[in-house]
Amino acid sequence: MKNSFTALRVHRENGKNQAKLEQLTEVDLPEGNVLVGVHYSTINYKDALGVTGKGPIIREYPRVAGIDLSGEVLESEDDRFKPGQQVASLVGGLGETRDGGYTEKSRISADNLQLLPDSMSTRTAMELGTAGVTAALAIYRMEENGQHPDLGPILVTGATGGVGAIAIDLLSSRGYEVVALSGKPEQSEFLKTVGASSVINRRELELESRPLGRSTWGGAIDNLGGDILSWLTRTTKPRGNIASIGLAASADLQTTVMPFILRGVSLLGINLEFYPDLRKIIWEKLSSDMKPNHLNTIITKEVTLNELPTCFDAYIDGKVTGRTLVKIK
C-alpha cells in the first residue's frame, strides 16, 4: 500500500479485544492540525487494560492504542509548531477516545502537543513518558503545597511500577528520605538502586484502622488507592501531602475528615489533563533541576512495534518491574 505505515490497532470481536498490527494511510488518521512522525511510545498499566480489554479504557473500536508518544513534526497547520521540531504528547485521550501512540504516524491537536526542551531527546521523553511526567507533577504540587524533606520520609506505593520508580528517583535526588512499599520484596535491590532508603513488603503490612494512627509519613505518592490510601490518610504527619495518582488496588476510599482537620493533611489529585499551564514547566524541570538519575535502570525492557502485541499480559499479571520503552521507528 503506497505511503502506508504500521500501527497497532485494537478491535472488539465477539466480546473480546484483539490487537493487530495493520497497514494504515494518512486518510485513516484522526482530525488534528499537526502530523507527527512517531519515534517512541511506552507501555503503561492503562495501556495493558485497554489492549486486553481488562478495563474500560478504549471507548470506541477499532482504536490505535498507546497513551503517549514522542517524535518529530512532519507537517503543521499551527504556528506554534514547525517541521523538524521534537515533540511529545501525553494528553488528549490518546489510546482512549482518539488514536494513540502505537503507530508510525499520528495526527494531533496542537493544544495536546508539547515541544521538548532543547536538551531532551525523543527517546528520553518516552523513557519518562506519562509515568515520569505524572510523578514530577505530583512532587511539584506537593512542594507547591509546602512539602519539604524536613517533614519526614515519603512513602511511595506501587513502587516497582513506572510512576513509583521514577518518583523514588526524583524524590531521593531532591533530598527526601524515600520508603518504597511493594508487593515484590524480591525487587528490593532494584528499588534501593533507584533511591529508596528502605522497602516495606506490602503483604506484611498491618494497616492502622483507627481514625488517626501514629504519625509516620511526611507525605506519600500513592498508585494503589483503596485500603492503602485510607491508611495513608491516617498515618501522615501534620501538614503532609498525599498525591493520589492511581487506583491499581481499588477506587474506594474509606476515611474520615479527622486527618484533614486535626493534622492539616492534604490529599492532592494528580491528573496531567487538568494542568495544561504546568506541562511546559514540568518538562523543563525534568531536563534541569528535576532531571532523574536512574532512567537507565528504570527502563528494564525495550521492544519494537512488531514485538508489542505479546507484551501486555505481563502487566495485567503484575510481572513487570520498571518501564518498557517502545521503539516505533
| Residue 2 scores a pLDDT above 70 | no
296-308 pLDDT tens trace: 999 999 999 999 9
Same domain, 315 and 216: no
Residue 259's pLDDT band, with cuts at 50, 70 and 90, is: very high
**156 lies in some domain:** yes
Side-chain-side CA neighbours of 158 within 13 Å: the count stands at 30
So what's the pLDDT on residue 120?
97
So what's the pLDDT on residue 206?
86
Name residues whose C-beta falls within 8 Å of residue 289's C-beta, 6 or more positions apart in sequence: none
Residue 203: C-alpha distances to residues 72, 153, 182, 198, 246 (Å): 44, 20, 8, 15, 19
| Residue 124 scores a pLDDT above 60 | yes
Same domain, 72 and 108: yes
70-120 pLDDT tens trace: 999 999 999 999 999 999 999 999 999 999 999 999 999 999 999 999 999
Mean pLDDT calculated for residue range 250-274: 96
CATH number at residue 9: 3.90.180.10
Please state, as a whole number, how many other Cβ atoms lie within 10 Å of the Cβ of residue 205.
13
Q: Which of 329, 300, 282 is nearest to 137 (CA)?
A: 282
So what's the pLDDT on residue 130?
96
Same domain, 74 and 197: no
Same domain, 232 and 101: no
**195 lies in some domain:** yes
Same domain, 184 and 253: yes
So what's the pLDDT on residue 248?
86
Mean pLDDT calculated for residue range 201-230: 93
Domain, as residue range, for 19: 5-115+294-327
Q: Which of 199, 128, 124 is nearest to 163 (CA)?
A: 128
More confident residue, 208 or 328: 328
Q: Among residues of the chain, what percentage have pLDDT more than 90?
A: 94
So what's the pLDDT on residue 329?
84
Mean pLDDT calculated for residue range 130-138: 97
**286 lies in some domain:** no
The total of structural domains in the chain comes to 2
Burial status of residue 119 (CB atoms within 10 A of its CB: 0-12, 13-18, 19 or more)? exposed
| Residue 3 scores a pLDDT above 90 | no
What integer best gives the mean pLDDT of the chain?
96
Same domain, 51 and 88: yes
**121 lies in some domain:** no
So what's the pLDDT on residue 12?
95
Same domain, 247 and 149: yes
Q: What is the pTM of this model?
A: 0.95
Residue 243: C-alpha distances to residues 41, 58, 310 (Å): 25, 26, 32
State whether residue 320 is helix, strand or coil: coil
**125 lies in some domain:** no
Q: Give the whole-angstrom CA distance, residue 155 versus residue 11.
A: 39
Residue 267 gets which letter from DSSP?
E
Same domain, 155 and 249: yes
CATH number at residue 191: 3.40.50.720
